Amino acid sequence: MIDQTHSQNQRQSYRSEVSQKGKKEFTLLKMQEYGFWPKNLPTPYEKQKAETKEDYEKRKALLKEYDKLSNDLANLYGEKEAINLKLQELKKKYTATWDYEKIRQDIAKTIMAESIARRAERKKEREVAQAEKSAAWQKAKTENIVFIGKGYSSGLQDKLTHTSKLESLGLPLIETDHQLASFLGLTYTELRFLTYHRDVVTSDHYYRYEIPKKKGGFRQIAAPKPLLKQVQRKILVEILEKLPIAEEAHGFIKNRSVVSSAEAHIKAPTLLITMDLENFFPTLTFERVRGMYKSFGYSGYIASLLAMLCTYCERMTIEVSGTTKYVKTSPRILPQGSPASPMITNIICKNLDHRLKGLSATYQLTYSRYADDMSFSYNEAEENLKLGQFLGLVSLIVEDEGFHIKASKTKILRPHNRQCLTGIVINNEEIGVPKKWVKNLRAAIHHAKLLNQTGQPIPTSLSQEIQGKTSWLKSVNPERYKTIIEAGLSVIAHF
């Protein structure tokens, strides 16, 4: 009873002092009393005279600590007051009984009720937070493209655009998906549709077909449908064609062709080495195409969308309950048939071309590349060339650049062989085409003339063959094949 009376008197004394001096000054006096604030240091409420910079900094640090302690002390007094009130309530409630089991049960019920109330409150808070998060996500999906398919959306978080790099390359500045849609002449809905990948679809963005290869098998061609083709052509003209490529690349470039590739080499070299890159287009995946666009200066976000527009995945057709579905059978890769694909291969292969050119120069060889066909020519004495070492280094560079050489198609041709690269024969005085090819054209022209003389219709396939081969000879060497070109043109004129 005496302790309780002393505690009450002490609280009344504290309240009186706080009321007279204010909470902060009272706290400061108590800090001095208990040794937390040096008594020889002026208080914050006194005028400071001749105070040095060091003393000022020290006082500021102490004031900061003082404010924290002041708040902590106030909280402790508040907690103490609450505890005392709770104890008084319990004392009044259980004064008449010392039934400890009843007290334990009552307290347990109180704790359980408080726990249930807290859980209900936290659940409500989580539901509100989840609803807000869902609303924010729905808003974000409406305003931005936030998902482009499983396995392809990781780069969408990167919104950093390297403006100066784009400007130095003369490329259009595109920082948002809305700007990209406007640049490509698409509605925002169309851009969403074209850049979203699904593993199974009922409608595809490509026409798919096969064309036979010269030496057996079929080449898979995927030609974009009109809307996507228009987009890819825009990307080609406004972005890709503005990028520099290696001089050694001759495929699908203005003023370059298989002819310019052949003309880069000396006629009838000591050695002509031809190699093929295996699975060239499938090797160029979505990730590599996205990396290419990022290297221009575009953000990961825009690079991902551009890569989606320029890649596709191979699919197989299945019937499900009478509905035709197209099921993914490969990761997204560069399609053969897209107007943008050839230039993308040249840009990605730029470093490969530079490295192979440097290696070739070291060994005194000439290098050129047409799409996936690589050619090397050597005009010194063969014994001076460490051929095995050179081929090994070529293979290492190709693998290091993310490609593979098709070993079965590597050829080493000497002057007594027919030295042919990309369909052009170079071991004659003039470049030309294989004799068998010319012989077949002569036979086709002769057959067409006989049909014409007998009044029979000339099949469309035959007329197209003559027209195509005549145009090809004219592009390779019009002077050398002048006679047969004129004969072909004469036949074509009667169709």
pLDDT in tens, 270-295: 999 999 999 999 999 999 999 999 99
Flag whether 70 is in a domain. no
* pLDDT band at residue 407 using 50, 70 and 90 as cut-offs: very high
User: Per DSSP, what are the bridge partners of residue 80?
Assistant: none
- Give yes or no for residue 384 having a pLDDT over 70: yes
- Please give the order of strands across the beta sheet that includes 365-370: 365-370, 373-378, 271-276, 411-413
* Of 26-40, 65-79, 209-223, 340-354, minimum mean pLDDT range: 26-40
Both 218 and 295 in one domain: the answer is yes
Residue 443 above 90 pLDDT? yes
**In this structure, is residue 299 part of a structural domain?**
yes
Same domain? For 211 and 303 the reply is yes
Is residue 277 domain-shared with residue 289, that is, in the same domain?
Answer: no
In a shared domain, residues 237 and 355: no
Q: 150 and 134 in one domain?
A: no
Q: Is residue 203 helix, strand or coil?
A: coil
What is the average pLDDT score of the chain?
87
Do 168 and 237 belong together in one domain? Answer: yes
Let me know whether 267 and 318 are in one domain.
no
Asked if 442 and 483 sit in the same domain, the reply is: yes
226 in any annotated domain: yes
What's the structural domain count of the chain?
4
Q: Are residues 157 and 301 in the same domain?
A: yes
What radius of gyration, in Å, describes the C-alpha atoms of the chain? 41
Q: What percent of the chain has pLDDT over 90?
A: 55
- For residues 358 and 268, membership in a common domain is answered with yes
Domain-terminating residue out of 333, 368, 395: 333
Q: Are residues 321 and 357 in the same domain?
A: no
Residue predicted with more confidence, 53 or 337? 337
- What is the tens place of the pLDDT at every residue in 48-58? 566 677 777 78
Q: What would the mean pLDDT of 55-83 be, rounded to a whole number?
A: 78
Tokens 């047409």 — which residue? Answer: 370
What is the number of alpha carbons within 13 Å of residue 81 lying toward its C-beta?
Answer: 10
- The span from the CA of 56 to the CA of 37, in Å, is 15
> Averaged over 249-261, what is the pLDDT?
91
Nearest-10 Cα torsion for 267, 269, 275, 280: -30
- Among the residue ranges 3-7, 140-144, 413-417, 449-453, the one predicted with the least confidence is 3-7
Q: Tell me, yes or no, whether 93 lies in a domain.
A: no
Say how far apart CA 414 and CA 382 lie, in whole Å: 10
Please give the model's pTM, rounded to 2 decimal places.
0.71
Domain that holds residue 134: 105-143
Q: Is the residue at 38 inside a domain?
A: no
Boundary residue ending a domain (417, 432, 447): 432
What CATH number is associated with residue 411?
A: 3.30.70.270
Which pLDDT score is estimated for 21? 64
User: Does residue 399 lie within any of the structural domains?
Assistant: yes
Last residue within a domain, chosen from 409, 432, 455: 432
Q: Are 152 and 286 in contact (CB under 8 A)?
A: yes
Q: In percent, how much of the chain has pLDDT > 70?
A: 90
401 and 355 Cβ atoms separated by less than 8 Å: yes
Residues 260 and 393 in one domain: yes
In a domain, 271, yes or no: yes
